[in-house]
Amino acid sequence: MAPKILVIPGSLRTGSHNVRLAALVTKELALAEADVTRISLADYALPLYDGDLETKSGAPANAVQLKKMLAVHHGVFIVTPEYNASVPPLLKNAIDWISRVRERGEAPLAVFKRRPFALGAASPGGFGGMRSLLALRQVLEIGCGALVIPEQVTVARAEAAFDDMDNLKDEHVTATLKTAVRALIEAAGQHQEIAR
């Protein structure tokens, strides 16, 4: 069975460079014969994490749903903007809420543990969102215990980076994207074997 991969863009903006990159990642994953699903965090609206709200009402239903989405996929590709050299609040808040959802008897962060993630970013700036990915890598690996593959995609000068067919103009970035896609599928396949 093809590994199931979840693609999560970290932007809701109309015309988002990262949603565009996430669409390309989704296409490449499908071409590489992964069973791929792309979601929008707009469909999983969440309040800002608040410990009092959690104590009163538990984790919101959308956080529980997002955790279920992670659980039924063998790998995750996150494509995110960079905000002030770090992870945008939309994405960090979603991860924080997911990290608080626990079934009875389940170990903390079980849904993240050893689950493979790949990271990509697009930015109008020259770093291509690199610093956001460094921060996100810390959150996922050190904070949540996930396995973040070393290959990552950064698209600088994003407003001019795509052609009319929504492919990337730069061959090297395209090659990196394909390498990251292959590495994620391989890691997800191994995760699928272990989970069996």
* The one among 3, 5, 8, 17 contacting ligand FMN by CB under 6 A: 17
* The one among 124, 143, 145, 189 contacting ligand FMN by CB under 6 A: 124
Q: Which residue has the tokens 């020259």?
A: 126
Q: Which residue has the tokens 């979840």?
A: 6
| Closest separation in Å from C-beta 103 to ligand FMN | 33
* The one among 123, 152, 154, 176 contacting ligand FMN by CB under 6 A: 123
Q: What is the largest CA-CA distance in the chain?
A: 52
> Across the strands, what pairs with 122?
155
- Of the pair 87, 111, the CB lying nearest ligand FMN is at 87
Backbone angles phi, psi at 152, to 5 degrees: -140, 155
- The binding track of 56-85 with respect to ligand FMN, each residue x by CB under 6 A or -, is -------------------------xxxxx
> Across the strands, what pairs with 147?
116
Name residue 126's amino acid. Answer: G
CB 136 within 8 A of CB 91: yes
Q: Does 154 bind ligand FMN (CB under 6 A)?
A: no
DSSP 8-state symbol, 48: P
* The one among 5, 7, 8, 16 contacting ligand FMN by CB under 6 A: 16
| Site residues (vs ligand FMN, CB under 6 A) | 11, 13, 16-18, 81-85, 123-125, 127, 129
